Amino acid sequence: GAVVSQHPSWVICKSGTSVKIECRSLDFQATTMFWYRQFPKQSLMLMATSNEGSKATYEQGVEKDKFLINHASLTLSTLTVTSAHPEDSSFYICSAAGTGVTDTQYFGPGTRLTVL
């Protein structure tokens, strides 16, 4: 149980284009979903927290107009990187929690984004 999927697993795009990453909880309903980014040999950095049906809460320093998050259902959240630039290249990982912020988070396999 507690499986989280992400799609795509990797994506390469040109600078200036937008990229959408999907995160799905496959066998449970996720009240809260989280988006992280991870640079090589570093730990996870939380970008935003989203609750189903409401606006995401972004961490300090994360541009909400650049990283659009939609949590339209209890099993799906999307992250759209708008007007991507090479500095946005990173490993993006989502996680899902069943009942709230303090519940155990289950992570997706991650999406490697490369912006040329």
In the window 39-78, what residues touch another protein (CB under 8 A)? Answer: 42-44, 46, 49
Instruction: Out of 34, 37, 56, 88, point to the residue binding another protein (CB under 8 A).
Output: 34
In the complex with another protein, the residue whose CB is nearer, 89 or 91, is 91
Residue 35 lies near another protein (rule: CB under 8 A): no
**Beta-carbon-side half-sphere exposure of residue 95 (alpha carbons within 13 Å):** 19
Residue 91 lies near another protein (rule: CB under 8 A): yes
Question: Is the four-CA dihedral 16, 90, 110, 54 of positive or negative sign?
Answer: negative
Looking at 14-22, 66-74, 75-83, 93-101, which segment touches another protein (CB under 8 A)? 93-101
87 phi, psi to nearest 5 deg: -70, -10
Q: How far apart are CA 15 and CA 38, in angstroms?
A: 20
